[in-house]
Structure 1
Amino acid sequence: MISLLNMMSRNWGLTRRLVCTALYNDGDSERKYLPQFFKFVVANPLSVRTKVRTVKENTFLEACIENHTKSNLHMDQVEFEPAPQWSATILKADEHSLERNSKTRDIFKPPVLIRAGGGIYNYLYQLKHASHESGHTRIDGSNILGKLQITWRTNLGESGRLQTQQILGTPVAHKDIDLRIVEVPAVVILERPFLLHLVLTSQTDKTVGPFEVFISERDSGEEKFVMVNGIQKLVLPPLESFGTTNFDMNMIATRLGVQRISGITIFDTKEKKAYDPLPDLEIFVDAV
């Protein structure tokens, strides 16, 4: 009689105990049982390595799956389950035109094969924050992206399943406010005023402000060819909890060609706190 304990656990790489019970006769017609205990380690059949990259407002998750067994693994499912504040899209390389037009391929899509003894396969997902898709700007401070659900079969049809722990992204630096440029004129004429449309949003449940908006001077001493036209500091009233206000900045360009709008800074006059300037924005300045 052989019994195997704790084999229903989904955790791999842990020490297990195998109990073997031997039945024997000692010569007195009395049956006796002699238990034997053996310890062994359940090896993980595959490993998952992840890497997270952020490019502007796009977050990319790369998952590298490596086969540690002596059998080929057919991946039935490698699905990323995003956290509630994220949506995920798997990115695939362009298929060959013959494969793309094949009716057979539409009916039967073979699973991904990861070969035995160290074979690997990479999956790439593009993640988008729910606030970017809905237009809602309230940001959750959590950096949890989600987890992977993986199922596979061996050549003999034996199945396996693995669920990863929560995958973490870049820590989110929570800001009380969010300042963005939402509209720039299609045509900017040299030495003619134009309006830059901006939106300021509170990302906290308390009242913040009032604020001042201005163009900061850089330490590099770089000359600016796009500047504020008129009053140099724009005063904005306080913002209520998660409130939003739209406003315009009157600008003027003094040189032709591609120019940069840089150094737009907002300052909380109550907290005496200046936030990081907005990223530079390039515009084209025409003569007519």
Structure 2
Amino acid sequence: MNDLFLEVQIQNTSSSTVFIQKVSLEPSEMYTGVELNTVNQAGEDECTFGTRTFLQSMEGRQYLYHLQLKQEFSDKSGAIRGLTEMGKLDIVWKRNLGEMAMLQTIQLEREAPGYGNMRLSLETIPDTVILEEPFCITCKITNHSNRKMKLVLKMCDTDSIRWCGSSGRYLGKLPPSSTLSFTLTLLHLQLGLQSVSGIRITDKLLKKTYAFDDVAKVCVIPSMVRRRK
């Protein structure tokens, strides 16, 4: 969705040892970025690679970053198509101690996912639920088309899901590039990791129905497990 975890692998393909002085990510204007390459030890942040700054020949290393799409771009994510710029990665390195460091800049791109005219995302959902006990989820719909929608919600039961409440509920009108949130109640009939499926939303103006299945997974546990806790 709006969160992206980026793993960058750096490998020394030369025949000699190289020394990594700095690896930094500069996100594009669409994203904010956080480095995930440190751990907290005794109240201080330490690099996950320790104090070791060199790479032997053919040795590799992975760097992890968390990118988030800024709100102004998130609301218009339907217009983001094809390749998008994620930012640039700067690597400062040298072959021998004492020599001048070299800078290598890599432009990072990704293929933006296509959502079609309508996108459904989950705002809240529990990780764990109790078998045959109702729980709530909050959904958000985004209109990525260039026209107004008039929406009706229908919930379809599956082998493991029973939806609570009346189906055929009118959600209202949704202008272009706008969002609409609503809460649903359901319960699961099977234990284990279960999928949330069976959401159907119809645009009455176009008479088109959008199906949303496997939108999330929850862990269903027996009631006795919750009591013991």
TM-score (ref. length: structure 1): 0.56
Partner Cα distance (1:111, 1:189) in 2:
49
1:126 aligned to which of 57, 60, 65: 65
Aligned length: 214
2:23: which partner in 1? 78
Matched residue type, 1:65 = Q
- The reply to whether residue 90 of structure 1 matches residue 35 of structure 2 is yes
2:97 aligned to which of 144, 147, 155: 155
- The reply to whether residue 178 of structure 1 matches residue 119 of structure 2 is yes
Partner Cα distance (1:81, 1:187) in 2:
40
CA pair 111-224 structure 1, distance change in 2 beyond 3 A: closer
Partner Cα distance (1:138, 1:81) in 2:
22
CA pair 69-280 structure 1, distance change in 2 beyond 3 A: closer
Partner Cα distance (1:253, 1:160) in 2:
58
CA pair 150-256 structure 1, distance change in 2 beyond 3 A: closer
Secondary structure of 1:125's counterpart equals: strand
1:200: which partner in 2? 141
- The reply to whether residue 226 of structure 1 matches residue 162 of structure 2 is yes
Partner Cα distance (1:210, 1:65) in 2:
53
Matched residue type, 1:61 = E
Partner Cα distance (1:90, 1:269) in 2:
45
1:270: which partner in 2? 205
- The reply to whether residue 209 of structure 1 matches residue 154 of structure 2 is no
Q: CA deviation at 1:248?
A: 3.4
2:177 aligned to which of 225, 233, 242: 242
Q: Which runs of 5+ in 2 are unaligned?
A: none
Partner Cα distance (1:172, 1:136) in 2:
12
Partner Cα distance (1:277, 1:239) in 2:
22
Q: CA deviation at 1:182?
A: 3.0
Larger deviation, residues 155-164 vs 174-183: 174-183
Secondary structure of 1:238's counterpart equals: strand
Decide whether the 8 Å contact of 1:74 with 1:152 is kept in 2. yes
1:38: which partner in 2? none
Within-5 A mapping of 1:3-22 = none
Secondary structure of 1:237's counterpart equals: strand
Partner Cα distance (2:30, 2:92) in 1:
25
Q: CA deviation at 1:63?
A: 2.0
CA pair 111-83 structure 1, distance change in 2 beyond 3 A: farther
Q: CA deviation at 1:80?
A: 1.8
Within-5 A mapping of 1:137-152 = 137-139=75-77, 140-141=80-81, 142-152=83-93
Deviations 1:84-120 (A, max 9, x none): 222333333758x6xx799xx99xx9672123xx343
Q: CA deviation at 1:277?
A: 2.8
Q: Which of 1 and 2 has higher RCO (CA within 8 Å, sep 6+)?
A: 2
Secondary structure of 2:174's counterpart equals: coil
1:62: which partner in 2? 8
Decide whether the 8 Å contact of 1:75 with 1:112 is kept in 2. yes
Matched residue type, 2:140 = V
